[in-house]
Each structure stands twice: as C-alpha cells, then as structure tokens.
Amino acid sequence: MRIVLDLKVVMDTNVFISGVFFSGPPYQILNAWQSGMFELAVSREILNEYRRVGEILAEGHGNVDLNPTLNFVIKHAKVYRPVRLKEPVCKDPEDDKFFACALASKSTIIISGDKHLLDVSGYAGIEVLKPRQFVDRYLA
C-alpha cells in the first residue's frame, strides 16, 4: 500500500468500530486509510480490542461483517510492540495502550472521541484529535 500523507496515526477502538458499522467521520477516516492516505499503527492489544468490541456490536447488526475490515487491518496496518509506560497516562488505564502504541510507532496523532484520551492530548507530543478534527485537518 502506497502512503500518500507522511502521517502515522493510532485509531482508538470506538473510532475503528464506528468506521466499520456507521457512516460519518470515522467511516471517512477508515476509508482514507484503506485507500493509502496514511499509515495506521496498532499493537496486538489494540487489535484484540478491535475484534472483541466489534464482535459484541456485530451481534446486534447482523448485516455488518467485521471480518473483512479486521483482516485488512491485520494485513496492512503496521503492528508495533508497545512501549512500557513509566506511569499511567489516562484516568482509565485501559486507554494507556493507545499512547504506548503511539510512542512505539512514533505516531504524533491518536484519533479518538474518548474523554480520557482527549484530556491528556499533548502528552509526549502526541495530539489526540476527534474524528471530525482529523477529517477537517487532513482529509478535507
């Protein structure tokens, strides 16, 4: 896959899942990545959460198949071994995996609407952008 923008991002689970199941900015972001606009950085832990949350949501949306998109991510996203954080970053420790992956991949952007992630935007030079902000800044 040829990358158009010199940009590496981490996408939180809610953005990824929303992009698979619904329209709007998360869908635009997922499509832009699948088209090679930027690099998606993930860790095994993030991939596992994508699958777990996607399977739960799929139970209520029988017409949506998560597997093709998840398989595309597994094949085309760059998988990084997360760094070990010296201290908790987010109020919700489950969200620290996104910063650990961003640091390992040298990503400067996490795309998320999660308040716990947004509250610590700027940590270690990593900006947390809401999906609409990312679309307006990089995909418009």
Split into its structural domains, the chain has a count of 1
Question: Residue 25: its pLDDT value, please?
Answer: 97
Report the pLDDT value the prediction gives residue 57, as an integer from 0 to 100: 81
- What is the pLDDT at residue 52? 92
The domain in which residue 135 lies consists of 8-139
3-class DSSP state of 120? coil
Q: What is the pLDDT of residue 138?
A: 93
In a domain, 3, yes or no: no
Q: What pLDDT is attached to residue 1? A: 53
Q: State how far the Cα of 104 lies from the Cα of 98, in Å rounded to an integer.
A: 10
pLDDT, one tens digit per residue, over 88-111 is 999 999 999 999 999 999 999 999
pLDDT of residue 43: 97
Select from 15, 1, 19, 133 the least CA-distant residue to 77: 1
pLDDT by 10-residue block (mean), the chain, 140 residues: 78 93 93 93 96 84 78 92 94 96 97 96 97 94
Q: What is the CATH number of the domain that holds 78?
A: 3.40.50.1010
Q: Is residue 48 part of a domain?
A: yes
Tell me what pLDDT residue 116 has. 95
Q: Please state, in angstroms and rounded to a whole number, the distance separating the CA atoms of residues 136 and 106.
A: 22
pLDDT, position 3: 65
Residue 1 included in any domain: no
